[in-house]
Amino acid sequence: MRSHAAHLGDFQVKPRMLLIAALAVPVGVASALAAWCLLKLIGLITNLVFYQRVNTAMVAPGAHHHPWWLVLSAPVIGGLIIGFMARYGSEKIRGHGMPEAIEAILTGGSRIAPRVALLKPVSAAISIGSGGPFGAEGPIIMTGGAVGSILAQLLKLSADERKALLVAGAAGGMAATFNAPMASILLAVELLLFEWRPRSFVPVSTAVVIATLCRWVLLGNGPVFGLPNPASTPGPLADGLALIPGITGGLLAIVATSLVYLSEDAFKRLPVHWMWWPAIGGLIIGLGGLVEPRALGVGYDVIDQLLTGRGTMSLIIGILVVKTLIWALSLGSGTSGGVLAPVFMIGAALGAAEGGLLPHVTAGFWAMCGLAAVVGGVMRSPLTGIVFTCELTHAWSDLLPLVVASVSAYAVSVLLLKRSVLTEKIARRRLHLTREYTTDPLEAFFAYEVMHTDPVVLGADDPIDTAVPHTRFATLYPVVDDSEQLVGVTTRNRLATCTDRTVGAAAVPARAVIHPDDTLREVANKLATANVTYAPVVDRSRPTRLLGLIAFEQLLHARRRDLHEEHHRERILTLRDQRSSPRRRPPTFRHAAATPEGVPEVVPVNSSLPQSD
């Protein structure tokens, strides 16, 4: 049952949702253009640094032989430039983009400075173009988010509406980069929105669709890593064996995440300013590039080789070891670059390495499983890992083993690692968040189920001198007239300071009024809006008929019920009659039934905390 107020709230929200969805259209176009410009800029810098030519085509730094001094010095010089940009431009360009976007949403009112929209993609292009083993998706998330945030800041919008446009820009940039609209929407839900509500989901989806259409015009609509479509599904054996890359992918995710934050801790202990850290990280990248040049850069060509089964064993091992080390260690330096493309490459290398020991299914099948697994483990986003892999390759017939690999890696990561590579950075800034989506326990109870049905009521004609001894501070008292009709509310402080003799003179209208069929969520919203902790409960059709009193402490009843359902264990069905050994009955949390007249009948509830048997 939903109250009239809830329906009214929905009616008021719908026009705003449509407005934000309309604003998401230009945000989607702008984020797609930003993604296209970033890819072109990365290609330009890579060509200038490693091939000494002016060209915007995406090339790999290690595709050809380069002098050792160039491989070693290019990342260091790139790191120096990024350090200066962060020191004298904006410190917000440091990092891989997603934690910074999350922090802007959680603590910054979804506000991103305009200069970040310019400096972040430029710094990322310099980092990746000079050999950094990072992806373009993190910077484009921050850049696309900045585009949406700037538009929202120019208009008169709420913080939640700014958040919707910020995430719309971020997801639009992702969709334009990888031609993966569904995965971009899931990424927004799993990592950025922290909600699943129409007011944000519709605008984000709108921006993603528009950005994807723009990408088709700018870059084509084919899969980023196209694979031949197999004639049949892999089969039960391959589905079961997908647990192997899933479990090992989860373990590799733990190792990589631990390396990132061990590196970050080590850099914080250095006796030099953080401006110089990216250059030191660049030195690590250069040394790794001397060992395995193909580990440098964004590495889309290497991912393509691994997913199509064309990777040699030396390339697989080199990527698995060198790429993991230089990515994790250099990311801790605070340089600019994303995590998705490196995770794609590392996961594909893991799966390809294990594919030599597992039964052959199709070319690149086990590399796909490893990719989905490591994404699910590192990002703690299993659905995103599954759908991303399918959209990148269009190998939808392999969906089931990808589910096995990604979810098993996610389970291993959750069991053995406290936080992901994204949330750990935020937690270190004392912002602890959860990404678990559950039903709101406050929506499961109504006001009439928890309210005080027999509160202390004062008569309007009662003398104040006789009423004050029966009151206490920090409590609200309904005031009724001779016909038991509510005329207002009062407090002990008002009674003590009133110069008249009767209680009625000290009564004022209630700042918040609750109806018996209001959910506890609506009660909490009304109390918070009015900034009060008590409110009278009145009949919706007869506002002067007092039904009870509700206090904010009673909202905890819903949480107690939620804790009871989570922790209380009992056997409902048994195989033998146990009536001879009675056991303690657990507390009951009953919902009230309606009387024949349709007026809710209050049912007492046990508010004591349950104890497990």
Assign 3-state DSSP to the chain and report helix, strand, coil percentages, each to 5.
60, 5, 35
Q: Which 8-state DSSP code applies to residue 381?
A: -
Instruction: From 411, 405, 371, select the one nearest 391 (Cα to Cα).
Output: 371
Q: Would you say residue 246 has pLDDT above 90? A: yes
Q: Would you say residue 66 has pLDDT above 60? A: yes
236-427: CATH number: 1.10.3080.10
Instruction: From 441, 442, 448, select the one nearest 591 (Cα to Cα).
Output: 448
Domain map of the chain by residue range?
A: 15-219, 236-427, 440-613
* pLDDT for residue 537: 93
Q: Would you say residue 97 has pLDDT above 70? A: no
In one-letter notation, the amino acid at residue 380 is R
Superfamily of domain 15-219: Clc chloride channel (1.10.3080.10)
Instruction: From 224, 205, 262, select the one nearest 21 (Cα to Cα).
Output: 205
pLDDT tens sequence across 535-574: 999 998 888 899 999 988 888 887 787 777 777 777 767 6
pLDDT top residue among 103 and 81 = 81
Average pLDDT of the chain, as a whole number: 82
Percentage of the residues of the chain whose pLDDT score is greater than 70 = 85
pLDDT top residue among 124 and 8 = 124
Instruction: From 173, 105, 177, 184, select the one nearest 143 (Cα to Cα).
Output: 173
Contact 517, 448 (CB under 8 A): yes
Q: Which 8-state DSSP code applies to residue 319?
A: I
* pLDDT for residue 439: 67
pLDDT band with cut points at 50, 70 and 90 for residue 423: low
Average pLDDT over residues 347-376: 90
pLDDT tens sequence across 34-43: 889 888 999 9
* pLDDT for residue 422: 67
pLDDT band with cut points at 50, 70 and 90 for residue 436: low
Rounded CA Rg of the chain = 30
Q: Would you say residue 16 has pLDDT above 70? A: yes
pLDDT tens sequence across 259-309: 888 888 899 899 999 999 999 999 999 999 999 988 898 888 888 888 888
Distances (CA, A) of 281 to 78, 285, 425: 10, 6, 18
Distances (CA, A) of 385 to 139, 182, 599: 19, 11, 50
The DSSP string of 422-479 is THHHHHTTT----------GGGG-BHHHHSBSS---EETTSBHHHHGGG--TT--EEE
Fold equal for 15-219 and 236-427: yes
* pLDDT for residue 455: 87
- Is the C-alpha dihedral spanning 89, 94, 97, 102 positive or negative? negative
Query: For the chain, what's the residue count?
Result: 613
Return d(Cα 188, Cα 102) in angstroms, integer.
Answer: 10
Percentage of the residues of the chain whose pLDDT score is greater than 90 = 24
Q: Record the tokens describing residue 559, joined without a space.
A: 């949480």
Q: Record the tokens describing residue 360, joined without a space.
A: 């052959």
Superfamily of domain 440-613: CBS-domain (3.10.580.10)
Least confident of 81-95, 249-263, 307-321, 579-593: 579-593
